[in-house]
A and B are shown apart, each in its own frame.
Chain A
Amino acid sequence: MRHRPEHILRITAPLRGLADRFAYVFLLAAAFAILILGKADPQIFERARMTVTDITAPVLDALSRPAMTVASTIEEVKELGRLRAENQALRSHNIQLLKWQTTARTLMAENEQLRGLLGFGADPEVTSVTARVIGDSGGAFVRSVLVNAGRRDSVRKGQAAAVGNGLLGRVAEVGERSARILLITDLNSRIPVVIESSRERAVLAGDNSASPRLQYLPITTRVKPGDRIVTSGHGGVFPSDLPVGVVTTVAKEGVRVRPYASADRLEFIRLMDFGLNGMLDEMLPRDGAGKARGQLGKAAGSE
C-alpha cells in the first residue's frame, strides 16, 4: 500500500519535472502579463480585486479587533500616567476654545445674514459614514488602507476620507462591504489644493513618503513654512476648503506639506459624501480616477 505511490512517482518523476518546469514558466509569464495589463488599464482587475477583498473582509474585520483592543489598552495605561498634566492643558485649552466659540457664533450669524442679502446658494449638505480600518499593508510600495464599509453602506468611489479634521485620502475602490482608501501620501495621489492665505493653486502630489509635495505652484509664489493647505474644490471631487496640512519646508527641491491627518494608528475613518461624487464617473465614463487625476493636475497647473 505504501509502496505504490513511490513506484508511480519513480516512473512519472522526469515527466512531472518537465510539466512543473512548463507550469513555472507559464505562471511567470502570466504574472508578468498581469503586471503589464494592469499598468495599461488599472481598472481592468478592479472587480476581481474587490470580490476577493470582500470575501476576506470579515476575516480581517475579526482579526483587527483584538489588535485594536490591545493597542487601546496600552494607550489607556499610558494616559493614566499623564492624566494630571493633560487635565491642566485641557482646561486652558477649553478657555481658549470658548472664546473661539463666541467668535465663531458671531461670524456664523453675520455670514448667514450676508449670504441672505446676496442670495448666495448654500453648500450641499454633508453626510458621512464612519468606517473601521481592517487592512493596512504598511508596505513600502503603497499607501492605502482597507475599511469595513462598502456599497451597501452607500460608500462611493471618489468620496473624501478624513480623520479628525484633516483630509486623509479618497475612496479608490469600492466593494460590497469593503473599500480601499488611497491616502494622500500615496505615489498615485494628486489632490488639487490652494494655499489658504494667498489662494494660490497647486496640486498635492504624494510620493510614498510621509510629507507629500506641492506641484505646479506659480513661479511667483510666496509660500512659506506654516502656511495652511486646504482643498481647492477644483475638478468637483472634493469640496473646497477641507483642511489638508501645513507647509513644513520650502526648498529648491520642492515644497513639502505635513498632512493634518496622520496615517499612524488609524482606527476609524470618516467617509464624507458632499453630494459631489459621481462627477468623476460622469465626466469620464470608463477610466475614472487615473485620467481624471491627470486632468486635474493639468487644469491646476495651467493656471
Chain B
Amino acid sequence: MRGSATWQTLDHVARRMTPFLITMGLVILSQVPMQLPAAVALTPLLALISVYFWALHSPELMPAPAVFAVGMLQDILSGVPMGLNTFILLVVYGLVVSQRRFFFGKSFAVLWWGFGTLCVVIAAFQWVLTSMLSGAAVPALAIIADYFTTAAVYPLVAYVFVLTHRNILRED
C-alpha cells in the first residue's frame, strides 16, 4: 500500500514536471545548428511559446521558478547577456497570468491573436532593452523576423502542448 502511494507521488511529480522538462528540451533543441543558409535560418523562440501556453492554461504546471530556470538556460546557451531572456520571459509570464481571465474559454484564434499581439510588444521591448544594453541601436529587422516566425509556428507547438496537457490532466 505504501509502495503504491510512493509510486503515485512519484508519478504525480513526474507529470507536473513534464511541461518544464519539455521546455528545457526545446531550449536545447533551438541551439542545434540547422545548417541552413542565413536567409532561411529564422529562429522561433520556442521557450516563449511554452511560457505563454502554460501560463495561460495551467500556471501551476509552469511556476515562476521554472520560468526563471528556462530563461537562465536560454541566456547561457545562446550567449546573450545573462538575465535578458530570463527577465523577458518573466515579464511575459506575469502579463499572461494576470490576463488569464480575459482569455478564459476563448477560441484558439483568440489565443493565437493574443500571442501575436504579445510578440509585437515583446519584440519592441527586447529591441529597446538590447539597444540600451549595447549602447547602440541594434538592427531591428532580424528581431522582427524572429518574432514573426515565432507567432507563425505557434499553432504547431501549441498543438503538441495541448496533447501533453490532456495527457497530464487525464491521469492526474
Where the two chains meet, the residues of A that have a C-beta atom closer than 8 Å to any C-beta of B are: 20, 23-24, 27-28, 30-39, 42, 45, 48-49, 52-53, 56, 59-60, 63-64, 67-68, 70-72, 133-142, 144-146, 180, 187-188, 207-210, 263-267
CB B155 to nearest CB in A, in angstroms, measures: 22
Contact between chains at B63 and A139 (CB < 8 Å): no
Q: A141-B84, A142-B78, A142-B79 are in contact. Are A67 and B33 (CB under 8 A)?
A: yes
Contact between chains at A30 and B68 (CB < 8 Å): yes
CB A177 to nearest CB in B, in angstroms, measures: 15
CB B115 to nearest CB in A, in angstroms, measures: 19
Q: A34-B83, A56-B28, A140-B143 are in contact. Are A39 and B77 (CB under 8 A)?
A: no
Q: Which of B18-37 contact A (CB under 8 A)?
A: 28-37
Instruction: Report B-chain residues with C-beta under 8 Å of the C-beta of A49.
Output: 76, 82
Instruction: Report B-chain residues with C-beta under 8 Å of the C-beta of A265.
Output: 35-37
CB A97 to nearest CB in B, in angstroms, measures: 27
Contact between chains at A137 and B30 (CB < 8 Å): yes
* Measured CA separation A68–B34 after assembly (Å): 7
* Measured CA separation A37–B41 after assembly (Å): 32
A-B contact count (CB 8 A): 151
Residue of B nearest to A180 (CB): B79
Q: Which of B57-81 contact A (CB under 8 A)?
A: 63-65, 67-68, 71, 73, 76-81
Instruction: Report A-chain residues with C-beta under 8 Å of the C-beta of B84.
Output: 35, 141
Partner of B90, one of A31, A209, A210: A31
Contact between chains at A208 and B41 (CB < 8 Å): no
* Measured CA separation A52–B31 after assembly (Å): 14
Instruction: Report A-chain residues with C-beta under 8 Å of the C-beta of B80.
Output: 137, 139, 141-142
Partner of A23, one of B65, B77, B87, B145: B65
Contact with A along B125-148 (1 / 0, CB 8 A): 010001001101011001101100
* Measured CA separation A139–B80 after assembly (Å): 9
What is the size, in residues, of chain B's interface with A at 8 Å between Cβ atoms?
Answer: 47
Q: A137-B43, A137-B78, A140-B143 are in contact. Are A28 and B87 (CB under 8 A)?
A: yes
Sample of 18 A–B contacts (CB below 8 Å): A28-B90, A31-B83, A31-B87, A31-B90, A35-B133, A45-B82, A67-B32, A137-B31, A137-B78, A138-B42, A139-B78, A139-B80, A139-B146, A141-B80, A141-B143, A142-B78, A146-B77, A265-B35
Instruction: Report A-chain residues with C-beta under 8 Å of the C-beta of B28.
Output: 56, 59-60, 63
* Measured CA separation A48–B83 after assembly (Å): 13
Contact between chains at B32 and A63 (CB < 8 Å): yes
- Having A36-B83, A71-B35, A141-B138, one finds 14 other A-B pairs with CB under 8 Å, namely A20-B63, A23-B64, A28-B91, A34-B83, A59-B28, A135-B31, A136-B31, A136-B33, A137-B43, A138-B34, A138-B43, A139-B146, A140-B138, A142-B80
